[in-house]
Amino acid sequence: DAKTTQPPSMDCAEGRAANLPCNHSTISGNEYVYWYRQIHSQGPQYIIHGLKNNETNEMASLIITEDRKSSTLILPHATLRDTAVYYCIVRVSGNYGQNFVFGPGTRLSVLP
Amino acid sequence: NAGVTQTPKFQVLKTGQSMTLQCAQDMNHNSMYWYRQDPGMGLRLIYYSASEGTTDKGEVPNGYNVSRLNKREFSLRLESAAPSQTSVYFCASRGDRGMKNTEAFFGQGTRLTVV
């Protein structure tokens, strides 16, 4: 199973871009990278996912390196409401079926 | 469209008591999951169900049982609650390949305290 590594915490100034890194050096060719966030112990919220191309939606952009061993989630204009724990997840296939493995994530603090 | 609904939202149990956490989704998803989250930690998978009628153990299944009652509902049962099971429990469902969305949707959680 591919594992992910994220920094435990990051700060970002309000209005600036927040760049959250994730390493997934053992990712397999058919595994996707997903990003979720959890605001103040609510249920995790889906942000974005991708396979190998960069992706963008109304919430964020996802940049995946060419070798797919790492990715970066970009919140282009962070607001105070973006303060949350961000999880980078690689979808696991096999015995666990369509499982998600959550690590401790990155606690992003957006500062005024 | 309510998404994933969990009940109850809060519960206090005495050691040794039993209870069932309920989860229902209205998105016609095949896959459903139960996670627990302890303070300051990520989510750990307890059990999952890839489709109606099937269930499989996750990372931390001991002390729990599950039932996939039908496609909509996936319940988690604690037969004899222990203080170590004090946690926040999240249910999730996920769209399947071929559906428009394959991301997982989470309920708002059940905060369980075992005293």
Q: What is the pLDDT of residues B84-98, one digit of tens each?
A: 999 999 999 987 766
pLDDT band at A5 (very low <50, low <70, confident <90, very high): very high
- pLDDT of res. B101: 62
Q: Residue B89: count other Cβ atoms within 10 Å of its Cβ.
A: 23
**pLDDT for position B86:** 97
Rounded CA gap, B32 and B53, in Å? 11
CA atoms within 13 A on the CB side of B62: 2
A102 neighbourhood in chain B, CB within 8 Å = 35, 42-44
* A27-47 confidence digits (pLDDT tens): 888 888 999 999 987 899 999
Note which residues in 20-59 of chain A have CB less than 8 A from chain B.
Answer: 34, 36, 41-46, 49
> Using one digit for the tens of pLDDT, what is the confidence trace for A90-108?
875 544 455 677 888 999 9
Q: Would the CB atoms of B42 and A105 count as touching at under 8 Å?
A: yes
Among residues B89, B86, B87, the alpha carbon closest in space to that of B14 is found at B86
The pLDDT value given to residue B16: 97
- Residue A95 has a pLDDT of 42
Report the alpha-carbon distance of residue A71 to residue B7 in Å, rounded: 36
Taking all residues of chain B, what is their mean pLDDT, rounded to a whole number?
91
Predicted confidence at residue B98, as pLDDT, reads 62
Which pLDDT belongs to residue B12?
Answer: 97
**Other C-beta atoms within 10 Å of A14: how many?**
15
Interface of B with A in 35-54 (CB under 8 A): 35, 37, 40-45, 48, 50
A65-94: pLDDT as tens digits = 999 999 999 999 999 999 999 999 987 554
Q: Count Cβ–Cβ pairs < 8 Å, chain A vs chain B.
A: 59
Residue reference for tokens 């989860």: B23
Residue B1 CA to residue B108 CA, distance in Å, equals 15
Peptide bond into A76 cis (omega under 30): no
**B103:A43 CB<8 A:** no
CA angle B52, A44, B68 (to 5 degrees): 15
In the prediction, which pLDDT does A96 show? 40
Mean pLDDT rounded to a whole number for chain A:
89
HSE-CB for A62 with a 13 A CA cutoff: 27
Q: How confident is the model at residue A1 (pLDDT cuts 50, 70, 90)?
A: low
Helix, strand, coil percentages in chain B from 3-state DSSP, rounded to 5: 5, 50, 45
Predicted pLDDT at A8: 95
The residue with tokens 């996707």 is: A32
Q: What pLDDT, on the 0 to 100 scale, is given for residue A51?
A: 87
The gap between the terminal CA atoms of chain A, to the nearest Å, is: 39
pLDDT in the model for residue B80: 96
Q: What is the CA radius of gyration of chain B?
A: 14
**pLDDT number for residue A85:** 94
